[in-house]
């Protein structure tokens, strides 16, 4: 399929943890859907999630028949001696006509570049490349066509970056707000023995525990470590280390040492992001339900179309979608986030 | 290459004079073959110590140590980019690259790859070796079966490997400064809150269990890795460099213990005994090496 890459504007990239979610996302107006196989080759390797090879093949056919793309997330780091699993994922996806493969590891990028030179490569956020030279390195060495930026840059910085790199930019605009530099976090491995980079898991469910006391106060734990405590009136969040509350000698009480449990929502910044040259907008959440995917995708579809048409964006829908209402524009709006 | 103990980059923000004196003592007394200088964590700290670079490097070299400069683990701002470019292009010292922007400038030149750039498999190692990498410091989370395969690849490529065997392990990096956050400040006006914690700022869980240690934008483990028992096994694999990450405990003494084990003057069991006699500021762990939770400590023999 021939495509004019330079012309990509306002592409809506949506998550799919299951074939049903993928169809839902395509039907709700996604330009592209990203998904992974049922193994450690992708960074959302959760039980009950992801695609068999047969499902992936059908998903590509379904999306292509409706003018949408499918992107394979093969964005973990294969441990030495186990690279065959990643190669098989790449080979199969390429054979199915996948539109791009999202990678983080140099070895995987090299394999695609040498074995499937026609296959489009996107650089995963897991590669952690936020600077001109880092991005150019991947473009020049492996022919990367698009970079998914870490959620750490302001819009003026993105605009400046865009003018100096030879590839497209994809930005996260909605969903979980990861705090740590992706691809460089072994907090989960430290607490559970499972690695985010190698096993594709963050805060695995098997190590999550909830403990309730007599007064119905709830403690959430990951392995042996308490991540947060909630009174009976609060709704407890899923325990991830970088959203936990801790004690430090600098503070009298427990505090969110890294970030509060909060979601990213850049709806208000959409016009500026387009002006800055962002080519594609990514929604996080392959672990989310089908109905969540439908609501979020259709709202963002509408918002992007409105901005592109020069109309006012109706933000109400988008703002209402964030769980618990707590949301942030993170680093995008101000350097003071850092 | 000769098997040796190395002194990794000092990750914390110590007063410049303390840092200078630390390196002078390492030069004079520590049995280490290589010393890594250079600020890795925060570019705002960089100016304080740079005035001592030449003095310290010269003293270390006179003592027979190889001096390597490590690049930033995170490069984002124009200033960080400029400093990275200067470090890589000057080539005054060998450079250890800790991110892709350093690799961009080092392609085609002989260089090292640091712990903060992910080298998890033989194909990544070979690809980087093809671009001029001759030495790799590996991530602390790699288990021994992975180290073993990487060692075979390193032998084939004629490059050397380094594993961190002592000190707190860097577990995560962020663009946000958590030291500043703990003081209700932001990175741009941090007023160097990190200087007060020369081994990191302790984070405990709400029920009081020590968990993590904050160093500016970096999150470290509360426990410190100690792989003294695993040294013979790693030497058998062909791993030649064993990195100590500097802390305020007596690093000369730590270096001597590891050097004694490497050269067969002390058994790993005796070394564990020696380590158990003193407080080094953190409990030890070796979980990652044994494919276990990172904080676990296993008596091997």
**B29: enclosing H helix or E strand:** helix B16-29
Please give, one letter per residue, the 3-state secondary structure of chain A. CCCCHHHCCCEEEEECCCHHHHHHHHHCCCCEEEECECCCCCCCCCCCCCECHHHHHHHHHHHHHCCCEEEEEECCCCCCCCCHHHHHHHHHHHHCCCCEEEECCHHHHHHHHHHCCCCCEEECHHHCCCCHHHHHHHHHHHCCCEEECCCCCCHHHHHHHHHHCCCEEEEEEEEECCCECCCCCCHHHHHHCCCHHHHCCCCCHHHEEEEECCCCCEEEEECCEEEEEECCCCCCCCCCHHHCEEECCCCCCCEECCCCCCEEECHHHHHHHHHCCCCEEEECCCCCCHHHHHHHHHHHHHHHHHHHCCCCCCCHHHHHCCHHHCEECHHHHCHHHC
Provide, rounded to the nearest whole percent, the portion of chain A with pLDDT above 90.
Answer: 73
For residue A138, the model assigns a pLDDT of 98
SS3 category, B199: coil
Question: How close A325 gets to chain B, by Cα (Å)?
Answer: 23
For residue A189, the model assigns a pLDDT of 98
Q: Give the residue from chain B lying closest to A192, CA to CA.
A: B293
Question: How close B164 gets to chain A, by Cα (Å)?
Answer: 15
Of B85, B118, B201, Cβ closest to residue A77:
B118
For residue B255, the model assigns a pLDDT of 98
Of B75, B127, B188, Cβ closest to residue A335:
B188
- The residues that bridge with A123 in the sheet, in sequence order, are A103, A147
Q: B157 near B217, Cβ under 8 Å?
A: no
Q: How far apart are CA A80 and CA B118, in angstroms?
A: 12
Sheet holding A225-230, edge to edge: A208-212, A218-222, A225-230
Which one is predicted more confidently, A300 or A332? A300
Contacts of B80 in chain A (CB under 8 A): 131
Q: Write the DSSP symbol of residue B99.
A: S
pLDDT 10s digit of each residue in chain B, 301 long? 689 999 999 999 999 999 999 999 999 999 999 999 999 999 999 999 999 999 999 999 999 999 999 999 999 999 999 999 999 999 889 999 999 999 999 999 999 999 999 999 999 999 999 999 999 999 999 999 999 999 999 999 999 999 999 999 999 999 999 999 999 999 999 999 999 999 999 999 999 999 999 999 999 999 999 999 999 999 999 999 999 999 999 999 999 999 999 999 999 999 999 999 999 999 999 999 999 999 999 998 6
Mean pLDDT for the stretch of residues A260-288:
91
Handedness of CA B58, B60, B65, B71 (dihedral sign): negative
Which one is predicted more confidently, A311 or B201? B201
For residue A317, the model assigns a pLDDT of 73
- Of B117, B129, B112, whose CA–CA distance to B36 is shortest? B112
- A contact residues 161-200, partner B, Cβ 8 Å cutoff: 179-181, 183-187, 189-193, 195, 197-198
Question: How close B58 gets to chain A, by Cα (Å)?
Answer: 31
Contacts of A258 in chain B (CB under 8 A): 174, 176, 178, 181, 219
Q: Write the DSSP symbol of residue B174.
A: B
Residues 6+ apart with CB under 8 A from A125: A75, A148, A149, A150, A151, A172, A182, A183
Query: A249, B201: Cβ pair inside 8 Å?
Result: yes
For residue A332, the model assigns a pLDDT of 83
For residue A2, the model assigns a pLDDT of 39
Query: A80, B122: Cβ pair inside 8 Å?
Result: yes
Question: How close A246 gets to chain B, by Cα (Å)?
Answer: 5
Confidence of residue A325 (pLDDT cuts 50, 70, 90): low
For residue A8, the model assigns a pLDDT of 86
Q: Is the pLDDT of residue A178 over 80?
A: no
**CB-based contact, A210 to chain B, within 8 Å:** no
**CB-based contact, A77 to chain B, within 8 Å:** yes
Which one is predicted more confidently, A76 or A230? A76
Question: How close A68 gets to chain B, by Cα (Å)?
Answer: 32
For residue B241, the model assigns a pLDDT of 98
Q: What is the pLDDT of residues A220-253, one digit of tens each?
A: 999 999 999 988 778 788 899 999 999 999 999 9
Q: A304 near A30, Cβ under 8 Å?
A: no
Alpha carbon separation from A245 to A180, A219, A258, B266 (Å, rounded) = 16, 11, 8, 43
Alpha carbons within 13 A on the beta-carbon side of B63: 21
Q: Write the DSSP symbol of residue B176.
A: S
Confidence of residue A216 (pLDDT cuts 50, 70, 90): confident
Q: What is the pLDDT of residues B27-54, one digit of tens each?
A: 999 999 999 999 999 999 999 999 999 9
Of B103, B121, B287, Cβ closest to residue A107:
B121
What are the residue ranges spanned by the domains of chain B? 4-285
**CB-based contact, A230 to chain B, within 8 Å:** no
For residue A158, the model assigns a pLDDT of 95
Range with lowest mean pLDDT among A44-48, A168-172, B95-99: A44-48
Query: B202, A249: Cβ pair inside 8 Å?
Result: yes
Write down the mean pLDDT value for chain B.
97
Q: Which fold has domain B4-285?
A: TIM Barrel (3.20.20)
Query: B76, A131: Cβ pair inside 8 Å?
Result: yes
Helices (H), B158-267: 178-182, 231-237, 251-262
Q: Is the pLDDT of residue A7 over 50?
A: yes
Contacts of A249 in chain B (CB under 8 A): 201-202
For residue B80, the model assigns a pLDDT of 97
For residue A268, the model assigns a pLDDT of 86
- What are chain A's domains? 5-177+262-337 (3.20.20.70), 200-256 (no CATH)
For residue A3, the model assigns a pLDDT of 40
Q: What is the pLDDT of residues A82-141, one digit of tens each?
A: 999 999 999 999 999 999 999 999 999 999 999 999 999 999 999 999 999 999 999 999
- For the complex shown, is ipTM > 0.95? yes
How many inter-chain contacts (A to B, CB under 8 Å) are there? 231
Q: What is the pLDDT of residues A156-166, one digit of tens each?
A: 999 999 999 99
Q: Is the pLDDT of residue A1 over 60?
A: no
Q: Name the one residue in this structure whose structure tokens are 């058994």.
A: B267
Mean pLDDT for the stretch of residues A187-207:
96
For residue A157, the model assigns a pLDDT of 94
Query: B188, A83: Cβ pair inside 8 Å?
Result: no
Q: How far apart are CA A222 and CA A238, in angstroms?
A: 10
């Amino acid at each position: 399929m021939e495509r004019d890459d330079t012309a990509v504007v306002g592409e809506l990239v949506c998550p799919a943890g299951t074939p049903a979610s993928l169809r839902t996302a395509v039907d709700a107006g996604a330009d592209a859907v990203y998904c992974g196989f049922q193994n450690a080759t992708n960074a959302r390797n959760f039980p009950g999630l992801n695609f068999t090879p047969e499902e992936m093949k059908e998903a590509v056919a379904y999306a292509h028949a409706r003018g949408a793309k499918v992107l394979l997330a093969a964005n973990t780091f294969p441990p030495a001696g186990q690279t065959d699993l990643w190669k098989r994922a790449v080979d199969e996806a390429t054979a199915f006509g996948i539109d791009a493969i999202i990678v983080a590891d140099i070895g995987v990028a090299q394999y695609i570049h040498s074995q499937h030179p026609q296959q489009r490569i996107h650089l995963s956020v897991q590669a952690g490349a936020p600077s001109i030279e880092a991005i150019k390195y991947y473009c020049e060495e492996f022919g990367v066509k698009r970079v998914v930026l870490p959620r750490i840059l302001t819009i003026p910085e993105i605009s400046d970056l865009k003018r100096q790199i030879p590839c497209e930019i994809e930005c996260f605009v909605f969903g979980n707000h990861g705090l740590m530099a992706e691809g460089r976090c072994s907090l989960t491995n430290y607490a559970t023995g499972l690695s985010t980079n190698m096993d594709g898991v963050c805060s695995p469910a098997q190590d999550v525990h909830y403990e309730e006391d007599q007064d119905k106060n709830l403690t959430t734990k990951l392995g042996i470590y308490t991540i947060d405590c909630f009174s009976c009136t609060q709704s407890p969040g899923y325990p991830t280390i970088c959203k936990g509350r801790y004690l430090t000698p600098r503070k009298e009480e427990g505090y969110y040492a890294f970030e509060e449990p909060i979601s990213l929502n850049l709806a208000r910044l959409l016009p500026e992001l387009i002006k800055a040259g962002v080519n594609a907008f990514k929604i996080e959440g392959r672990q989310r339900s089908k109905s969540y995917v439908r609501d979020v995708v259709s709202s963002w579809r509408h918002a992007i179309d409105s901005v592109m048409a020069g109309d006012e964006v109706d933000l109400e829908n988008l703002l209402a979608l964030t769980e618990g209402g707590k949301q942030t524009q993170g680093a995008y709006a101000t350097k003071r986030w850092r | 290459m000769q098997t040796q103990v190395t002194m990794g980059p000092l990750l914390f923000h110590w007063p410049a004079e303390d840092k200078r004196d630390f390196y002078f003592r390492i030069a004079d007394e520590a049995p280490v073959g290589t010393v890594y200088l250079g600020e890795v964590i925060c570019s705002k700290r960089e100016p304080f110590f740079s005035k001592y670079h030449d003095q310290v490097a010269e003293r270390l070299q006179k003592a027979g140590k190889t001096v390597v400069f490590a690049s930033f683990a995170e490069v984002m701002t124009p200033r960080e980019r400029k400093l990275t470019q200067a470090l890589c292009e000057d080539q005054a010292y060998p450079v250890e690259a800790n991110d892709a922007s350093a690799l961009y400038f080092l392609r085609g030149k002989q260089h090292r790859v640091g712990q903060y750039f992910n080298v998890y498999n033989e194909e990544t190692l070979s690809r980087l070796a093809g671009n001029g990498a001759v030495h790799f410091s590996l991530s602390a989370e790699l288990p021994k079966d992975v180290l073993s395969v990487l060692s075979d690849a390193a032998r084939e490529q004629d490059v050397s490997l380094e594993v961190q065997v002592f000190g707190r392990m860097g577990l995560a990096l962020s663009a946000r400064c958590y030291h500043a956050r703990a003081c209700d400040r932001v990175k741009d006006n941090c007023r160097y809150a990190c200087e007060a914690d020369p081994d990191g700022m302790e984070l405990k869980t709400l029920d009081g269990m020590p968990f993590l240690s904050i160093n500016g934008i970096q999150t470290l483990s509360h426990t410190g890795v100690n792989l003294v028992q695993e040294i013979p096994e790693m030497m058998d694999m062909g791993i030649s460099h064993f990195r100590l990450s500097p802390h305020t405990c007596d690093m000369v003494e730590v270096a001597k213990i590891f050097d004694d084990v490497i050269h067969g003057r002390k058994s790993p069991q005796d070394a564990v005994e020696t380590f158990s006699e003193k407080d080094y500021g953190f409990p030890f762990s070796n979980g990652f090496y044994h494919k276990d939770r990172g904080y676990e400590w296993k008596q091997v023999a």
